[in-house]
């Protein structure tokens, strides 16, 4: 597997990373399956395992910890904090109070003494950048974490956080984790140029667009992806955005076939072709899923194939804008844009 440097950290990571969102109740995977997935991924050259405290209410971290036991040094271990862990506002966000608690909880669940990459799962509008960066810098200095990054931050917040780190002489975010796929290309117009400017490592999530680019969603067939059961709106073909996605998928299948590739290879090869992207996070639920995704580890798309993709979904375009997670709060809440 090709390896790349994660931003300016000097850490080498594989072009594909193993995402653990499906570990536990979300993906209905037990410990045996999780351990088998981690075994196979590491054997294939994957060295990043990415999880979060929020995934299956902490069970994903527990499963990851058990799966990597005895080979901790072989893994670049990444997790996240910030999304709600309990009811009430005291168990979420980017405050020093919560991050100090959350990191200890994650270390305990993972069964390790440090986390390689600790990421703020979403921007917290209620917390100042200096507060969050100061806490993360202190956690790094204490040896609890090695590097820290963000996930799904709007471009202007990435810039603001970089400024705050310099202004207050604090550690800076080393990575960003945005959603990115052939069907959701909006980050090309704002987030990825900023990450390149600041030398951030980029680990992209949902490169298969939540199953749309896995081959499980085709015209005239019953949807065969786990996400349709707990996110049915994302697959409701009465929605114009989903019809647009289905039209694009059918055309992309043809491009892949002409290039001698599977749709998965096309999709993963597309995101890893972008010079700003360090690694694509895959999220298999089964060994079969993992094998089909690892087959794309060394896929390199030719310029004519990339041009054909551009002709189907234009650069910088999100086919489903409502599915984005980095929209500024004022665009979602009318009260924030009115005096």
Residue 230 has a pLDDT of: 63
pLDDT recorded at residue 224: 65
Tokens for 114?
């440090």
Under the banding of pLDDT at 50, 70 and 90, the label for residue 274 is: very high
Q: Does position 88 have pLDDT exceeding 80, yes or no?
A: no
Q: If you write DSSP's letter for every residue of 3-40 in order, what string do you get?
A: EEE-TTS--EEESEEEE-TTSBTTTTB-HHHHHHHHHH
**Nearest-angstrom CA–CA distance, 17 and 50:** 7
When pLDDT is averaged across residues 21-28 and rounded to a whole number, the result is 92
pLDDT exceeds 80 at position 223: no
pTM for the full predicted model: 0.94
pLDDT band at 227 (very low <50, low <70, confident <90, very high): low
Contacts of residue 293, defined as CB under 8 A and 6 or more positions apart, other chains included, come to 16, 208, 264, 268, 282, 284
| Predicted local confidence at residue 228, as pLDDT | 58
Question: Which overall architecture, per CATH, does domain 3-331 show?
Answer: Alpha-Beta Barrel (3.20)
User: What tokens appear for 291 in the block?
Assistant: 């094998």
In the block, tokens 């949902």 appear at 206
Per domain, the residue ranges of the chain are 3-331
Q: Is 201 in contact with 9 (CB distance < 8 Å)? A: yes
User: Would you please indicate which residues are annotated as catalytic (active-site) residues?
Assistant: 55
Q: What was the pLDDT predicted at 229? A: 63
Q: How far apart are CA 170 and CA 126, in angstroms?
A: 20
End-to-end CA distance of the chain: 54
Question: Which pLDDT tens digit goes with each residue over 46-84?
Answer: 999 999 999 999 999 999 999 999 999 999 999 999 999
CA distance 197 to 218: 38
% residues pLDDT > 70 (the chain): 98
Per-residue pLDDT band at 123 (split at 50, 70, 90): very high
């Amino acid at each position: 597997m090709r390896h790349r440097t994660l931003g300016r950290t000097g850490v080498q990571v594989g072009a594909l990373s193993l995402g653990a969102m499906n570990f536990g109740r979300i993906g209905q995977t037990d410990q045996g399956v999780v351990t088998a997935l981690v075994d196979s991924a590491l054997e294939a050259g994957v060295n990043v395992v990415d999880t979060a405290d929020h995934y299956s209410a902490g069970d994903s971290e527990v499963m990851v910890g058990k799966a990597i036991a005895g080979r901790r040094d072989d893994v670049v271990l990444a997790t996240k904090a910030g999304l709600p862990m309990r009811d009430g506002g005291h168990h979420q966000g980017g405050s020093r109070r919560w991050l100090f608690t959350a990191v200890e909880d994650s270390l305990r669940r993972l069964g390790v003494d440090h986390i390689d990459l600790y990421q703020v799962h979403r921007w917290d509008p209620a917390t100042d950048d200096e507060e969050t960066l100061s806490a993360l810098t202190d956690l790094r200095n204490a040896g609890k974490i090695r590097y820290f990054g963000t996930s799904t931050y709007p471009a202007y917040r990435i810039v603001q956080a970089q400024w705050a780190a310099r202004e207050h002489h604090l550690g800076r975010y080393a990575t960003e984790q945005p959603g990115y796929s052939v069907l959701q290309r909006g980050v090309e117009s704002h987030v990825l140029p900023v990450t390149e400017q600041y030398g951030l490592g980029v680990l992209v999530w949902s490169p298969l667009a939540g199953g749309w680019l896995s081959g499980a969603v085709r015209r005239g067939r019953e949807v065969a992806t786990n996400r349709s059961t707990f996110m049915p709106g994302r697959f409701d073909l009465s929605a114009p955005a989903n019809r647009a996605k289905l039209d694009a998928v059918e055309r992309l299948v043809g491009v892949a076939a002409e290039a001698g590739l599977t749709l998965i290879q096309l999709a993963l090869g597309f995101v890893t072709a972008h010079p700003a992207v360090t690694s694509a996070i895959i999220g298999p639920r089964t060994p079969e899923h993992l094998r089909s995704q690892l087959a794309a580890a060394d896929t390199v798309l030719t310029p004519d194939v990339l041009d054909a993709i551009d002709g189907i979904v234009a650069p910088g375009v999100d086919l489903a804008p409502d599915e984005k997670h980095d929209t500024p709060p004022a665009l979602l809440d009318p009260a924030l844009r009115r005096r």
